[in-house]
Chains A and B, each alone.
Chain A
Amino acid sequence: MFNDCIIIYSIFGGCSQVEEGAKVELPFWLAQELYLRQAVSINVPACFNQKTRREIQADAANVDLRSRCPYFYEFGCKIAPLVGDRTIGKMLLSTFQMRYKDILTKAHTVAYAMASKFLTVLTKEETNLYEAAQLSMATFKKWRIGGPRFQRASVLGRKRKPIE
């Protein structure tokens, strides 16, 4: 939502003066609009640099993408055309391919508590995927076992205080 990226060469005034040719960090939504008006050029953000790519190639499943960018894939798709780097798209696909299998097997086999460490390295979308798989399996198992069909509305959240 609020991804920072580096832009160079800016010429805006008014609020704060930035010299032409200076590097500043701007949120993506602003950088993108300025780029489209040819006011700035955008550098490849750190989460897509060569170092990260090498780490992903070495051991994709265990790279902590969340700390690098929780919206790794979405951001990648948006930034790729702006920095003119065609390899980003391919890298996103191969990263997802390598991590996908792990998400799938962990979602169906590993207990939730055991998976908590694994979950901390996932991006937002990967977490959604994992939770989608977990949740549908859990509701299926619950149905199989049977029990009350009616429950407290989940929109109310967890029970506030135990009833004495």
Chain B
Amino acid sequence: MAGQSDSPISLFSPEEVEFIAEDELMEIVPNMRMDPLNFICGDFGPFFPQIPVKVPLWLAVALKKRGKCTIRPPQWMSVENLTQLLEGEREDQGTFQAVPFHYIEISRLLFDHAREDIPDIYMVRSLIEDIRDVRLHKVETNLEKFSATSAVKIAHLSAMEVNVVRPFVVRSLQAFYKHDNPVVTADLDSMSNRQPQVRQPQVPNNARRFE
């Protein structure tokens, strides 16, 4: 009810993209014993203390909040890997590094709920922020190159990055397409206009309503 994404032009709100990301599997180390959980999305568990097990991110966060587990940050979230990624992003302005599709959402959820489980959290956090900023800037540079209808292919964009630029990109491409193909629009227009041309005004039926 409240707070739903109001903009009709944006397909998903960031909250909704985050919701999708919560299905990504995470490794947790439980500190309790629990029977397997059988969900529509799959079966998880059984859970034994100190035995790592994979669960969806939302479940990991829920258990973490109740102090039932620690979360093992994903492999890519290491300082070495992130440093390498950032260097790659900076060196090659033309292309994007392959990052996890939900890296922005996953890292935000883990920073919010599992700070103590992430080694070098401050470093990791600032690296991810840098990577995100460099990439968003690069996306923008990429968009500047649009000049007419052409297939647009940008590899390795992440879910949130795509979501941020989607409303603008879709509208711009539509405008470029429309003006780059005047024949298309002219045809479309004359098709919708042709109708009244053939019909000469008789006493129109629909006019009667206003009698």
Residues of A within 8 A of B (CB): 32-33, 36-37, 73, 77-78, 80-81, 86, 89-90, 92-93, 96-97, 100-101, 104-105, 107-108, 125, 128-129, 132-133, 135-137, 139-140, 142-144, 146, 148-154
Segment of B24-32, B87-95, B143-151, B203-211 in the binding face: B143-151
**Is the Cβ of A93 less than 8 Å from the Cβ of B148?**
yes
Residues of A within 8 A of B98 (CB): none
A73 engages B179 (CB within 8 Å): yes
Which residues of A lie under 8 Å from residue B171 when comparing CB positions? 125, 128-129, 132
Number of B residues with CB within 8 Å of any CB on chain A: 42
When chains A and B are docked, how far (Å) is the Cα of A132 from the Cα of B167?
Answer: 6
Inter-subunit contact B2/A151 (CB<8 Å): yes
Interface on chain B toward A: helix, strand, loop, or mixed SS? helix
Beyond A33-B196, A151-B2, is A146–B112 a contact (Cβ under 8 Å)? yes
Segment of B4-12, B42-50, B56-64, B65-73 engaged in the interface with chain A: B4-12
A136 and B176 CA atoms in complex are apart in Å by: 21
Given contacts A89-B182, A150-B1, A153-B2, 12 further A-B contacts (CB under 8 A): A33-B196, A36-B193, A80-B182, A96-B176, A104-B144, A104-B172, A132-B10, A136-B7, A136-B163, A136-B166, A140-B14, A140-B160
**Roughly how many angstroms separate A130 CA and B196 CA in the complex, as a whole number?**
36
Once the chains bind, are B196 and A104 in contact (CB under 8 Å)? no
Q: B168-211, CB under 8 A of A: which get 1 and which 0?
A: 10011001101110100110011001001100000000000000
B6's nearest neighbour on chain A, judged by CB, is A154
Question: Which residues from chain B sit less than 8 Å from chain A, CB to CB?
Answer: 1-3, 5-7, 9-10, 13-15, 18, 108, 112, 140, 143-144, 146-148, 160, 163-168, 171-172, 175-176, 178-180, 182, 185-186, 189-190, 193, 196-197
In the complex, the 8 A-B pairs of residues with the closest C-beta atoms, listed nearest first: A89-B182, A143-B14, A132-B167, A93-B179, A133-B168, A150-B2, A151-B3, A36-B197
Q: How far is the CB of A133 from chain B (nearest CB, A)?
A: 4
Residue of A nearest to B181 (CB): A89
Q: List 13 A-B contacts (CB under 8 A).
A: A77-B186, A86-B182, A89-B179, A96-B176, A100-B175, A100-B176, A101-B144, A105-B140, A133-B165, A133-B168, A136-B7, A151-B3, A153-B2
Q: B178 near A77 (CB under 8 angstroms)?
A: yes
> Do the beta carbons of A108 and B146 come within 8 Å of each other?
no
Q: How far is the CA of A129 from the CA of B143 in the complex (A)?
A: 13
A139 partner residues in chain B, CB cutoff 8 A: 5, 7, 10, 13-14
